[in-house]
Homo-oligomer: A and B are copies of this chain.
Amino acid sequence: MNKVRRMERIVAISKQLTDRPCHLYSFGYFCQEFDVAKSTLSEDMNVIKAGLELFNLGTLETVAGAAGGVRYLPFRYSDNVQQMFMELAVKLAEPERIIPGGFLYMSDILFTPHLMAQVGEVFMTRFADCCPDYIMTVETKGIPLAFMTARAFGLPLVTVRRGSKVTEGSAVSINYVTGSAKRIQTMSLPKRALPPGAKVLIIDDFMKAGGTAKGMIDLAHEVGAKVVGTGVLVATSEPEQKLVDDYLALLILHHVDEYHKKTDIRPGKLWYSVQGGGTGV
């Protein structure tokens, strides 16, 4: 009986920890919730940590001290990450995804929860050292990916709007130039969305010239925030010189041949340094 109860407890603790990545749970919380001593709980945590690590499902981090506790970190390092992006590239290269104008239809992938959950965890793994306070994106298609990145970090998401909305109160707006259409557009952020000094990680689904990302960086600076990183799911290889110097692209779109219905898209170099000028392919 005692043995069964311990296993059930371990299932329940695992579920709660992994359900809310990066959230620091105090030991006291679990001791009370499950009516166990701290020493017993420590043993449970060792088992959970071992189980997660053994199967490449992330890890637990214990924080010592009065304000301490334990949190789940959804790190994704293993070979199957590379495999996942290979598969994603194959999927994105399907001929029926090519839209007149040389665009790729990506919405179905961008709105599939379990895929975006995985990509969000990859961004979290890659940008964990930057210690952001907020994840930032711009509407619309990048929202689920940015939201799942925010979930993996245990952070709130801030969404920049195109134009400004009456239902969000006073806002800061900037003009920016989209690289593809060379059109001047407006983007805005509610004043209350970011406190001054906040560290921001920018996540978006697609980058061509980098105008939209540049706009978000300018907007973040405008409200006194600091941009600590920029990540996109797909970046085009051309133009090589983007308006943003420093970014991580998980997939590189080399070429879309509308006539022959062929798309050349490949994983970027995930675990290399991206300092000073894109991922390099």
Contact = CB atoms under 8 A, between A and B. Distances in A.
A141 B116 CA distance: 18
A148 B103 CA distance: 27
A75 to B, nearest CB: 13
B156 A108 contact: yes
Interface stretch (A163-171, A217-225, A235-243): A163-171
Interface stretch (A13-21, A85-93, A272-280): A13-21
A163 to B, nearest CB: 11
A11 B51 contact: yes
Nearest to A44: B7
Nearest to A116: B147
Size bracket, chain A contacts: 35 or more
A198 to B, nearest CB: 13
A4 interface: yes
A15 B12 contact: no
B159 A8 contact: no
A131 interface: no
A23 interface: yes
Q: Which of A20, A104, A144 has the most chain B CB atoms inside 10 A of its CB?
A: A144
Given A111-B159, A166-B103, A11 B12 contact: no
A117 to B, nearest CB: 7
A51 B12 CA distance: 6
A113 B8 contact: no
B107 A190 contact: yes
B105 A192 contact: yes
Contacts of A159: 107, 111, 140-141
A169 B99 contact: yes
Interface stretch (A52-60, A245-253, A263-271): A52-60
Interface in A123-160: 139-141, 143-144, 147-148, 150-151, 154-159
B111 A147 contact: yes
A10 B12 contact: no
A149 B112 CA distance: 11
B52 A15 contact: yes
A111 B158 contact: yes
